[in-house]
Amino acid sequence: MEKKGLYSIAAIGPDMLISGFLQPVPDLTPVIPSVDETSAIDPTICPYESSIIFFYKTWDPYGAFSNFSPHPIQMLDENGDYFTWLSVEHYYQAHKFVGVNDAVAINCVEDIKSSKSPEEASRIGRKMQRQRPDLVTPDWESIKTDVMYRALKCKFSIYPHLNSMLLSTTGCVLVEASPHDLFWGGGRDGEGLNYLGRLLMQLRSEFLGDSQTQNGISVTHQQREDEVKRP
């Protein structure tokens, strides 16, 4: 299976907290295969008939696909006001507790909002979920993919270079190469459900057919019964 890389980033390593410093990649011209090349390929059904693009860390070639990439998104909050989240990860972690009428949950959301990095936001959200599962919004398991979808759609809609980058992967399977997260990632040996990759591929298809979907998209996400809950 081929790991496809689009560009390289020099002088950046894992010892650097780059999520707050890595600049957005330059705009990319979509490289879209011909209809003949892609018509027989359905990456979600026949993943071994196409190239596979792995992404995980923000300094990887496709690191901009990570929820930790430094791309703020502006989303409506529960009061109908716009709020700017520093990353998709900030938005996702906070929404585990949004709407819960408890002072601890409310303070947790505020702490995530004010956290300076995606790593900090993730740490706060995961720790609270682990220590106080009773504070997680009751329907979280049924809505978490929709929460993620909304954040990803905003991210890849407002940054042209990210939209171009996503479209340039047409015909390829996108896999978050997390060895531990078996819900959002692909796992160490491909045993994961790869829902982050699936949502990105869904968005890619929607952006490619934007002229048909720009007036509104109704999306439902089917989750297998053997889902692994994300901590």
Write out pLDDT tens, residues 81-96. 999 999 999 999 999 9
86: in domain: yes
Asked whether residue 59 is assigned to any structural domain, the reply reads yes
Half-sphere CA count of 163, side-chain side, radius 13 A:
12
What is the tally of structural domains in the chain? 2
Cβ atoms of 126 and 231 within 8 Å: the answer is yes
The answer to the question of residue 195 being in a domain is yes
Q: Looking at the structure, tell me whether residues 89 and 115 fall in a common domain.
A: yes
Are 77 and 65 within one domain? no
| Other beta carbons within 10 Å of 95 | 25
Question: Could you tell me how many residues make up the chain?
Answer: 231
pLDDT digits (tens, 9 = 90+) for 154-191: 999 999 999 999 999 999 999 999 999 999 999 999 99
Asked if 167 and 60 sit in the same domain, the reply is: yes
Residue 7 lies in a domain: no
Query: Model's pTM, two decimal places?
Result: 0.72
Tell me the two tokens of residue 167: 């479209």
194 lies in which domain range? 18-69+159-174+181-213
Query: SS3 for 52?
Result: strand
For residue 135, is it within any domain?
yes
